[in-house]
Amino acid sequence: MSNPRKAGSFVCAILFGLLAQSGCASNENAHTTATTFVSPPPRQALKVVPGEFDAEVPASPCENGSPIRPDECAGVDPKKPLLVFDLARTTLQVGDVVPINFAVRNAKLRGDGGEFRIRYFIDDDDARWTDSTEPFGLSGWVPGKHTVRLELIGPDGWPYRNGNQNIVTREITVQ
């Protein structure tokens, strides 16, 4: 090993090998994962509350020609079936009943002798159904932000398309 470059490379290779072995050999926990247990969030059990809620649902902006945004009523035909969902309050207290107040224009739901249905989702829970336009409320909310989505389902079992108005999503906050 008279060449200093070869000798330096040889020494570096030996040192690197020793460091790599000693670094891995001395760490007994090198391949472990720390586990922290976190309690799941409280599960809400919503209950349907029939009652005397405000049955008058205001007209859709697409019905009276006064959209808030120019694209809000794009592709909507006010003469075809139309779902209108009115959520009067978006901030509520724990224990409050959230009224689900909606109307269906130009179509009848099954409960009224028609072929349409309302499917609704709360957050990411399973779908729930109603076949009547009778207003109802939901109680049993846990604190936090929640999403309420209503869909007008046509006779074929699919959401009935009328622009972007027959799938309506609203957010509420329960404090």
Q: What is the mean pLDDT of residues 122-129?
A: 93
What domain range is 112 assigned to?
47-174
Which CATH number belongs to the domain containing residue 103 in this structure?
2.60.40.10
Residue 151: pLDDT band with limits 50, 70, 90: very high
Q: Does residue 147 lie within any of the structural domains? A: yes
Q: Does residue 29 lie within any of the structural domains? A: no
Exposure letters 139-162 (e unless 16+ CB within 10 A, then b): eebeeeebebbbbbbbeeeeebeb
Could you give the number of structural domains in the chain? 1
Q: Does residue 24 lie within any of the structural domains? A: no
Q: Does residue 148 lie within any of the structural domains? A: yes
Residue 131: pLDDT band with limits 50, 70, 90: very high
Q: Does residue 87 lie within any of the structural domains? A: yes
Cα gap 131→143, rounded to integer Å: 29
Has residue 135 got a pLDDT over 90?
no
Has residue 72 got a pLDDT over 80?
no
Residue 96 has a pLDDT of 92
Residue 19: pLDDT band with limits 50, 70, 90: low
Give the closest residue to 85 by CA, choosing from 154, 149, 153. Answer: 149
Has residue 102 got a pLDDT over 80?
yes
pLDDT tens across 29-53, in order? 667 777 788 877 667 889 999 876 7
Q: Does residue 6 lie within any of the structural domains? A: no
Q: Does residue 2 lie within any of the structural domains? A: no
Residue 169: pLDDT band with limits 50, 70, 90: very high
Q: Does residue 42 lie within any of the structural domains? A: no
